[in-house]
Structure 1
Amino acid sequence: MPSLLMFLFDWRQPLFPVGLGFLWRVRKLDGNSQCFVSKLGLLRICWWPISALESDAAKPAEAPDAPEAASPAHWPKESLVLYHWTQSFSSQKVRLVIAEKGLACEERDVSLPQSEHKEPWFMRLNLGEEVPVIIHRDNIISDYDQIIDYVERTFTGEHVVALMPEAGSPQHARVLQYRELLDALPMDAYTHGCILHPELTTDSMIPKYATAEIRRHLANATTDLMKLDHEEEPQLSEPYLSKQKKLMAKILEHDDVSYLKKILGELAMVLDQIEAELEKRKLENEGKKCELWLCGCAFTLADVLLGATLHRLKFLGLSKKYWEDGSRPNLQSFFERVQRRFAFRKVLGDIHTTLLSAVIPNAFRLVKRKPPSFFGASFLMGSLGGMGYFAYWYLKKKYI
C-alpha cells in the first residue's frame, strides 16, 4: 500500500480525521432522533469500501494513448442527469459507459457514507435507496442494467459511440455473453471478504483500519438490531428493518473464509475463460492493424465491464494473484491498455488518489452542514492543505 495512503488512514497520524474516521464516524441527525444508520453503523461500512482502483503496480510502459471517446455530444434539451456515488461499483460502470459514448451528463454526487441515499429527496427518485439513478426527459431509471440499456438505445447517431455491435453479428452475441458473465460476479462478496480477510490479498489499497472497524460493527450489529425492534421509531418501517437484517446476514456470509475461497476459485475460472477469449482475438487478427479487445477490434460494453472489474480486483489486492504473476498475459495487456483510455482516466482518475476523491468531498459536505468552530475550521483547512502537499510530494517522487 502506498505510504501516502498509510499515512492518511493510520489512526496515529494527525490527518486521520480527514481519512476514514471522517467517513465512518459521521453522525447524521434527523430531527430529534438519530437515524438508523448512525445507530447500526453497518450500512456505511457496507457501501463505502466498495471502491475500485489499483494499488502499487509497476508503472505501465510508455505508449501512445488509446483512441479517446468522442467529444461530448450536445443534447441541450435532453441532457442526462446522473445521481451516483464515486466509489459505487455500479455507478462507476454507468459513468464509464456515459464517458465512452461521449455524452454530456450532469453528475450529482450522493454520499453514501453520509446516508444521503436515505434522505427524502433521493428516496423520491428511488425507494430502493440505491445508486445510480438517471433522469432523462420524463424518465427516472434506477436499475443498473436498465440504465445501460436505455443509454445505449436512446443516444445514437453519427457522432455518438456505439458500445453494442449490430444485432445478429457474432460480436453482438459475444458482448451479451460476457456482459452476463461479468455482471454475475459477486463483487460485493469479493469486496467484503477481502476487507475482512486481508491475508488473502496482496498490496490491497484498503486501509487496515477498515478490517477492525467493520468487525467491530458486525460484533455489535445483532444487539443494535434487537434494540431497534423494541424502540419506537416511526420512520423505520418493518421492510426497512428486514432489509438491514438481510444485509447483515450477507456480510456475515462474506466473512466465511471457506465461502470466500470458493468464490475466488470460481473467479479464477472466469478469468481463464476471458484469457482464452483474448487469445482467440489475437490469433484471429494476427497481422491486422487494429487494437484487440474482448469481442473484436471494436471497443464494446464488454470491455467497459471487464475493465471496471479488473480495476476493482486490483484495488482489493487480487491482481498479483490473478494476472500480474504472468499467469494471464493477455489479461494484463488488456488492463494496461484500458487504463490509458480517456474515459477510464476521466472516471476513475489516478490510482493513488481514488480514496482521497471520496474523502475530500465528504469533508466539505460536513463543514457545509454543520459549520465547525474556529479551531475545527482551522484544523480542517490545515489538514486538507497537508493532504494536498503530501499527495503532490508522493506523486512527484513516484512519477517525476
Structure 2
Amino acid sequence: MALTLYHNDMSVCAQKVRLCLAEKQLAYEDRHLNLRAGDQKRPEYLALNPNGYVPTLVHDDFVLGESTVICEYIDDAFTAPPLKPADPKERARMRGFTKFIDAAIFPATATVSMSIAFHHQFTPEMYDTMEKARPGWLANFRQLQKGTENPAFPAAIRRLDKMIADMERALADHQGPWLVGETYTLADVAYAPYVTRLDHLKFFDGMVEKRFRVAAWYNRMRTRPSYKEALAKWFNPKYLPLMDEKGSEAWPRVCELLAA
C-alpha cells in the first residue's frame, strides 16, 4: 500500500484531506505544490489532475482528485476508525454538510480570502503567466483587488456567516459535541479548514460572538492530535501575518455587511 498526496500547505481543500489522513493515522508521501509559482499547472501534474487543482491522492496506481471524494474514498478504503456514522439518518446529515462545501462554501471562501488577503501576494510579473494558464483570470483578479468592494464579496461573506449559523443550529439540535451528534465524522473534517480560515482572517471571534456552540466545537477540534498534525503544523508563516493585518482592516466593513 502506497499513498502519495499532492497538496499545498494553506489550501483548504488540501487541509481537509490531510486531516482525514491524520485521523486514520495513515502515512503518505508528501508532494507539496507552490500554487503561487504555478506548480499545479505544470505538465507533469496536469497529467495526474487535468483540472490543475490540489489536492490529488494517488493510492498505488489509483489517482483521485476532488477533496470531498478523496475523503469518502479514504474512509471506505481504510475503515478504522470510521469517519461516517453507522446510523443512516446521521450519515445523511453528514452528507448534507459536505454537499454544501463544494456547492457554496468553497467558492465563498475563495472569494473572501482572495479579496481580503491573497491578491496582495501576486506580483505584476505573475499576471501574464496566470492569464495564459487561465484565460479570463486577469479580469476576475481586478475585481478581487477591490477587496470588500468586490461586487461578489457581500454575498460571499454572508454565505460564510450562514455556514456558522448552520453549524450552531446543528450543534444545538443534535445536542452533541460534533456536527451530527456524538460521532466525529467527515462533516467535522470538512468544516475545520473553513472555520480556521475565518479565524486566520480575524473574522471568527466576531461571527461566533453569540454562537458559543461553534466556538466550543472549534476549541475541541484544535485540541485533536490530527488537527495539529494536518493543519497547524503546515500553517505558512508568510500567510498568517498578511491575513491578520488585512482581515483586521476589513472587519468593520464586514460587520456592516453582516448587519445589513
Match of 2:50 among 127, 146, 150: 127
Structure-to-structure mapping, 1:309-328, within 5 angstroms: 309-323=194-208, 326-328=209-211
**What is the root-mean-square deviation of aligned Cα atoms in Å?**
2.8
Please tell me whether residue 272 in structure 1 is matched to residue 165 in structure 2: yes
The equivalent of 1:355 in structure 2 is 236
1:376-391 pair list within 5 angstroms: none
* Aligned position for 2:66: 143
| Structure-to-structure mapping, 1:191-210, within 5 angstroms | 191-195=113-117
For residues 357 and 260 of structure 1, what CA distance do their matches in structure 2 show?
24
- Identify the residue that residue 298 of structure 1 maps to in structure 2: 183
| Seq. identity, % | 24
TM-score, length basis structure 2: 0.79
- Of the candidates 153, 171, 185, which is equivalent to residue 260 of structure 1? 153
Alignment of 1:71-90 (within 5 A): 78-90=1-13
The answer to whether the 8 A contact 1:102-1:161 is kept is no
Query: After superposition, what is the alpha-carbon deviation per residue over 1:119-172, rounded to whole angstroms, capped at 9, x for unaligned?
Result: 33323222322221111122111232332222122122xxx1111113x62210
Query: What does 1:103-118 correspond to in 2, within 5 Å?
Result: 103-118=26-41
Tell me, in whole angstroms, the C-alpha distance in 2 between the residues paired with 1:306 and 1:144. Answer: 12
* Residue in structure 2 matching 1:344, options 224, 227, 232: 227
Cα deviation digits, residues 99-136 of structure 1 (max 9, x gap): 11222222221222333323333232223222211111
CA-CA distance at 1:357 after TM superposition? 8.0
Q: In 2, Cα distance between the equivalents of 1:97 and 1:357? A: 25
1:20-66 deviation per Cα after TM superposition (whole angstroms, max 9, x unaligned): xxxxxxxxxxxxxxxxxxxxxxxxxxxxxxxxxxxxxxxxxxxxxxx
| Separation in 1, partners of 2:192, 2:68 | 17
TM-score with structure 1 length normalisation? Answer: 0.53
1:371-398, CA deviations, whole angstroms, 9 ceiling, x for partnerless residues?
xxxxxxxxxxxxxxxxxxxxxxxxxxxx
Cα distance in 2 for residues equivalent to 1:357 and 1:337:
26
Q: Which amino acid aligns with 2:210?
A: S
* Residue of structure 1 equivalent to 2:134: 244
In the TM superposition, residue 258 of structure 1 has moved relative to its aligned partner by 4.1
Match of 1:368 in 2: none
**Structure 2 unaligned runs (5+)?**
241-260
Long gaps (5+) in structure 1: 1-77, 196-205, 229-239, 286-291, 360-400
Contact 1:79 1:136 survives alignment (8 Å): yes
In the aligned structure 2, how far is the partner of 1:108 from the partner of 1:357? 19
Structure 2 CA distance for partners of 1:358 and 1:267, relative to 1, 3 Å: closer
Q: 1:149 to 1:250 in 2, by over 3 A?
A: farther
* Structure 2 CA distance for partners of 1:357 and 1:140, relative to 1, 3 Å: farther
SS of 1:356's equivalent?
coil
- 1:310 Cα offset (Å): 0.6
Deviations 1:349-370 (A, max 9, x none): 26xx8223889xxxxxxxxxxx
Larger radius of gyration: 1
Note closer, same or farther for the CA distance 1:269–1:146 as it changes in structure 2 (3 Å cut).
closer
Structure 2 CA distance for partners of 1:87 and 1:79, relative to 1, 3 Å: same
Partner residue of 2:90?
Answer: 171
Structure 1 residues 268 and 116, CA gap change in structure 2 (3 angstroms)? closer
* Partner of residue 335, structure 1: 218
Give 1:257's aligned amino acid. Answer: N
**Could you tell me which residue of structure 2 aligns to residue 188 of structure 1?**
110
Within 1, Cα distance between the matches of 2:7 and 2:172? Answer: 35
1 CA distance for matches of 2:157 and 2:36?
27
Question: SS of 1:83's equivalent?
Answer: strand
Higher relative contact order (CA 8 A, sep 6+): 1
Partner Cα separation in structure 1 for residue 11 and residue 162 of structure 2: 25
What is the SS of the residue equivalent to 1:175? helix
Distance (Å, rounded) in 2 between the aligned partners of 1:309 and 1:126 = 23
The more displaced of 125-134 and 309-318 is: 125-134
Contact 1:179 1:305 in 2 (8 A): yes
**1 CA distance for matches of 2:228 and 2:140?**
33
Aligned partners of 2:94 and 2:180 also within 8 Å: yes
C-alpha contact 1:85 1:109 (8 A) present in aligned 2: yes
